[in-house]
Every structure is written in C-alpha cells, then in structure tokens.
Amino acid sequence: NAGVMQNPRHLVRRRGQEARLRCSPMKGHSHVYWYRQLPEEGLKFMVYLQKENIIDESGMPKERFSAEFPKEGPSILRIQQVVRGDSAAYFCASSPRQTLSGANVLTFGAGSRLTVL
C-alpha cells in the first residue's frame, strides 16, 4: 500500500499563474481532505471531499481556490492567479468510510510545497 501520494512535491509559480496539486488517496479510501500550512504556522483545514462531492468547504478561501475529487483519478486542488501569500505546504489526507464506532483515522501525504515568486 503506497499510502497517500501527493504531487508535485515542490511547485514554483509566478504571480498570476495557476497551480494544480494532485492527491491520490490510499487504496480503499473514499474520503479526501486538504490542509494548508503557511510558513511557521499551524495546519488549517480547507476542504473535505468524497467521490464527486464536496462535503465541507468551510476552510476554502472564497476566491481563486477550488477542489474536486472525480469518480476516476486523483483529487485536485486548484489555485488560480496565485499570489505570494499562497506560498505554503498543502497536505492531503484520506480516510475510509466512517467506521461503526465513529472513530476515523486520517492518513496524510508528504505534502506539496508551493512557492510563488
């Protein structure tokens, strides 16, 4: 089991360009979460998706950011017209369907580090 795979691991963009970050969940996992970590700051929840559905996007900035998790393929976090403040580490996590007990363990990827010049 390869775990949660994120790519690219490092991405450099100039202001105004688009950034696309991809996340392949663990085998058998149908839930994906995206988190952002600004330099020297904590992890902030962005969005939670199931296949073809956005369940909770309460942490997503209102503009320029979007996420999808299609029926086939990885989840994509898309940032349009990037600005320097978007420079951060973006972590993806996945989990299986909720267990009967209610406990739900998230497995995180290694992250994608976006640098905006």
Partner 1 sequence: DAKTTQPPSMDCAEGRAANLPCNHSTISGNEYVYWYRQIHSQGPQYIIHGLKNNETNEMASLIITEDRKSSTLILPHATLRDTAVYYCIVRRTGFQKLVFGTGTRLLVSP
8 Cβ neighbours under 8 A, 6+ residues apart: 21, 22, 112
Cα 8 to Cα 3: distance, rounded to the nearest angstrom: 15
How far is 56 from 6, CA to CA, in rounded Å? 21
Residue 103 near partner 1 by CB under 8 A: yes
- Whole-number minimum distance, CB 89 to partner 1, in Å? 6
57-86 binders of partner 1 (CB under 8 A): none
Give the nearer residue to partner 1 in terms of CB position, either 4 or 21.
Answer: 4
Binding positions for partner 1, rule: CB under 8 A: 4, 31, 33, 35, 42-45, 48, 55-56, 89, 91, 93, 95, 98, 101-111
